[in-house]
Amino acid sequence: MRPTDFSKRLTDFLTGYLPGERGASKNTIASYRDTFILLLTFLKESKGISAERLTLCQITKEIVVEFLGWLEKERHCSAATRNVRLAALHSFFKYLQYQTPESLAEWQRILSIPVKRTEKPAMNYLSVEGMRLLLEGPDQSTRNGRRDLALLSLMYDSGARVQEIIDLTPSMVRLDPPCTVKLIGKGNKARIVPLLEQQVEFLKIYMTENKLLVPFANMYPLFCNSRKGKLTRAGVNYILTKYANRAREKEPSLIPEKFSCHGMRHSKAMHLLQSGVNLVYIRDILGHSSVQVTEIYARTDSHQKREAIEKAYSDVSPKEAPPWLTNDNLLSWLKSFNQ
């Protein structure tokens, strides 16, 4: 069977356009691929259209809208997940505008499908005391405990995304002063983040113990599981959740009920902000594309808002209490009023 125009365009989009022209990361390409797997599943189950026979002319705005509804109703996806899938489809049909302009009108109809509004959840982050309690959790007398402490300390100290931690190799860490770590973020953008020497001590112990400082280990995963394989997102989240639960048992008020790996990143950003670090530097440490993204931390930090209000405060309240507040006999005061 000959390949269809859909299969040709999708293959070029995933293997050529995204990595070659857009410079998309492996994670972005994998997310887009998963979107099309779901679309093909929907078309097979709901429309009886097999992947082998699917052509571009069969994909319309109405089909895409049905697919998005199927994600929410049948697969119980959240509105945020639905928006992620729509973003992948939008990217594909923007690409098709230039590849198959004869169907431009239909592609623009699909591009007109709006994202759904979603409620932004409250940002979860730990106080300095909460972070200290969390990092006291790993048992440093065990091999796994030393690995977990090095992992969590580095995740907090660098403000790294979970995938950035997973992708680290020993060659990306500098343990001699000035200590730094090289992180590869979204869009394969690299950044150098300084590390505190106190936190690096945990990393040195871990790397020495696991023979990660020798030259032949340069490209090994920095953090691995019991099978010497790279940790997964689920694996890192499992480690964090374990110690967050332990810390919550000791001090429930310091650890939120829901605390994810991204909460470590939020915590670092908030602690930097509260220490007076400029938003521009926080942007560079976190690898944000714009300082406007970083401003979310300034909007969230009620402590700094309160301090700013107190600095600008002018006392305009009355210096003396009204007479009726100091007069026990309200009736007599009223009778004598304005006489």
Q: In what order do the strands lie in the sheet with 190-194?
A: 173-174, 180-184, 190-194
Task: Tell me the CATH number at 291.
Answer: 1.10.443.10
Distance CA 160, CA 218 (A): 20
155 and 104 in one domain? Answer: no
| Whether residue 190 sits in one domain with residue 105 | no
Residue 160 has pLDDT above 70, yes or no: yes
Is residue 309 predicted with pLDDT exceeding 50? no
| pLDDT tens, residue by residue, 230-241 | 899 999 999 999
| Pairwise CA distance, residues 34 & 28, whole Å | 10
Residue of higher predicted confidence among 296 and 164:
164
Residues 103 and 205 in one domain: no
Q: Which of 189, 157, 162 is nearest to 173 (CA)?
A: 157
Tell whether the model's pLDDT for residue 179 goes beyond 80: yes
- Are 147 and 90 contained in the same domain? no
Q: Give the CA distances from residue 65 to residues 71, 89, 109, 116, in Å, rounded to whole numbers and listed in that order.
A: 10, 11, 11, 12
pLDDT digits (tens, 9 = 90+) for 17-72: 999 988 888 888 999 999 999 999 999 999 999 999 999 999 999 999 999 999 99
- Judgement on whether residues 186 and 289 belong to the same structural domain of the protein: yes
Whole-model pTM?
A: 0.69
Question: Domain limits at 154?
Answer: 128-306
Say yes or no to pLDDT of 246 above 60. yes
Whether 178 and 289 map to the same domain: the answer is yes
User: Mind giving me the DSSP string for 41-83?
Assistant: HHIIIII---GGG--GGG--HHHHHHHHHHHHHTS---HHHHH
* Residues with active-site annotation: 161, 186, 262, 265, 288, 297
pLDDT at 313: 52
Is there a single domain that holds both residue 68 and residue 166? Answer: no
Mean local confidence (pLDDT), 186-206: 87
Q: How many domains does the structure of the chain reveal?
A: 2
The least confident of 15-29, 49-63, 160-174, 186-200 is 186-200
Task: Answer whether residue 207 is part of any domain.
Answer: yes
**DSSP assigned state of 289:** S
pLDDT digits (tens, 9 = 90+) for 87-131: 999 999 999 999 999 999 999 999 999 999 877 766 788 999 999
| Section 236-263 average pLDDT | 92
Mention every residue, 6+ apart, whose C-beta is less than 8 A from residue 46.
Answer: 66, 70
Would the pLDDT of 178 be above 80? yes
